Each structure stands twice: as C-alpha cells, then as structure tokens.
Amino acid sequence: MAQVKVYYDKVGNTLTIWFDDPQKEYISEETGEEVILMKDKTGRVIGFEKLNFTMSDTEQLQVAFEAMAV
C-alpha cells in the first residue's frame, strides 16, 4: 500500500484521506452520507472526503487503519 495522506481543512470543515496519488483521481461519487469517494480511471477508490467534519482546537486527530487480505 502506498503512503496514506490525511488532510484536515479547518475552514472548509472537511477531512480528506488518500490511499493513492491524488493526481490519479478521475471521477468523484457522493454517497449521500456526506462522504465523497474519489476514484481512478478503473473505478477503484483511491480516497474519500468527509464533509462537515469538525474538531476542537484541543483534539488530536487519530486515524487507525486495519490491513485486510483481498
């Protein structure tokens, strides 16, 4: 797996996580749950964005990942 990139936009209230190179984004799909999936040309999800994501200034963002065999 490539390096995971996590971006928090405090002004836009979004959390964006990329599993692959953001330059590979070809199409985006809104799930209807304030989540946007970013996909490459083959339709593989390479990232997602959570809309209306907020944290207080004192919170630390912690992201946990679980590896799964596919």
Q: pTM of this prediction?
A: 0.80
CA terminus-to-terminus distance, the chain:
12
Domain count, the chain: 1
In the predicted model, is pLDDT for residue 2 greater than 70?
no
What pLDDT, on a 0 to 100 scale, did the predictor assign at position 58? 63
Residue 23 structural domain: 1-70
Instruction: State the DSSP string of 13-45.
Output: TEEEEESS-GGG--EEEE-SSSEEEEE-TTS-E
Q: Rounded to whole angstroms, how far apart are CA atoms 37 and 44? A: 10
Sheet holding 27-30, edge to edge: 5-9, 14-18, 45-50, 35-39, 27-30
Higher pLDDT, 59 or 1: 59
23-61: pLDDT as tens digits: 999 999 999 899 999 999 999 999 999 999 988 766 777
